[in-house]
Homo-oligomer: A and B are copies of this chain.
Amino acid sequence: MYVTSLSTLRTTPKLELVSSRSATADSRVSSGTNLYYEGDTVERLFEVTSGVLRLTRLLEDGRRQVIAFAYPGDIVGFPCDGLHHTDCDALVDSTLRRFSITALEDGLGDPDLHKELLQAALREIAGMQDHFMMLGQKSSLEKVASFLCTLTDRVGVFTSGYPQVELPMSRADIADFLGLTTETVSRTLTHLRKENVIAIKNVHTVLVRQPEELLRLSVGEELDLAS
């Protein structure tokens, strides 16, 4: 359900893809490709099978909110009144499975697929509620820690005993996702690095040195017993 909710480290069950019957073959999109814009008519839903998508909304004056980053297993493109309400593009080369919008709207063709798409929509609602909590109530440190925890949980890999996570998005993307500025995101990451909670292997790769500490920080507890 997108990168929004935080549970604990490494507990999310591995992605289960929607049944592939009734779907077209996977299609490839390269980094930067736009899938749809806000206001476009919705013709199909997309399930990410590899890569990462970015969903954004713009304000007239240029301010931007990143609504979600969509990872494999996520479904994007849910319509409202037949229209898209976000822009969507690929952050990296990705592959997608396309579903006709009718598969969501009536269960006649494939009842199982219909149910799975409905469940995906409901999961998205719940995930967005977590995101509300983060945007509305959390400090910059809690936001960044939450973001790293969620991403690590979702797509982290273990390297020499520590969780490691790729951040294919820019600092500006992270900032607009968390309701911060790029400077604050950068400073907060530096802070976490100096406290030895994380290590920044390179700009787009973070190693989590103290996963439980990161988790504590993400829910507003104090940093202590740092090594």
State the A residues within 8 Å of B (CB). 57, 59-61, 63-65, 67, 78-81, 85-86, 104-107, 111, 114-115, 118, 121-126, 128-129, 131-133, 135-137, 176-179, 219-220
Contacts and interface: CB of A to CB of B under 8 A. Distances in A.
B118 A57 contact: no
A79 B129 contact: no
Copies in the complex: 2
* Interface SS majority for chain A: helix
A220 B124 contact: no
Nearest to A114: B107
Given A61-B220, A80-B123, A105-B118, A136 B85 contact: no
Contact of A63 (B80, B121, B137): B137
Contact of A125 (B115, B128, B135): B128
Nearest to A118: B118
Given A80-B123, A105-B115, A107-B107, 17 more contacts: A64-B137, A67-B129, A80-B125, A81-B123, A85-B125, A86-B129, A104-B118, A106-B111, A121-B122, A124-B125, A128-B128, A128-B129, A132-B132, A135-B135, A136-B177, A137-B176, A137-B179
